Amino acid sequence: MWRARPRCGRLKQIFPGFWEATPGTHEIQDQVAEGDKVATRLLCRGVHERDLPGIPATGNHLEVTATVVHRIENGKPAEQWSGKDTLGFLQQLGVLPPLGEPTE
């Protein structure tokens, strides 16, 4: 789901908790800037070592993709739109079953 978010201060609060719970790498696959926008495609790999809200640590390996577009104003991010593979993330954690497999 794509969402516009004013300012990016809240991200500074959320990301450290996520990174601590799933240590690994966050690689920029592509980054393009045009006008006042910067688009970034990311690949995040890690291991679910600590609890996330509502999800106890599983020890599962993760690989998640995301795309983020920032609008820059006065040299700082002013808005953000992002999309990530939340379904794949939850399946890798075992919260949701893989598609095509019957549920019990």
Output the pLDDT for position 6: 47
Q: Which tokens in the block code for residue 104?
A: 């019990």
Concatenated DSSP letters of 51-74: -BTTB-----EEEEEEEEEEEEET
Over the chain (104 residues), what is each successive 10-residue block's mean pLDDT? 48 69 89 96 92 90 94 94 92 89 64
Q: Tally Cβ neighbours within 10 Å of residue 16.
A: 10
pTM of the shown model? 0.70
Output the pLDDT for position 54: 86
Output the pLDDT for position 42: 92
42, 81, 47: which is closest to 65 by C-alpha? 42
What totals of helices (H) and strands (E) does the chain contain, helices first? 2, 5
Output the pLDDT for position 101: 62
78, 83, 85: which is closest to 37 by C-alpha? 78
Q: Give the separation between CA 62 and CA 46, rounded to whole angstroms.
A: 5
Output the pLDDT for position 11: 56
Output the pLDDT for position 14: 62
Output the pLDDT for position 17: 76
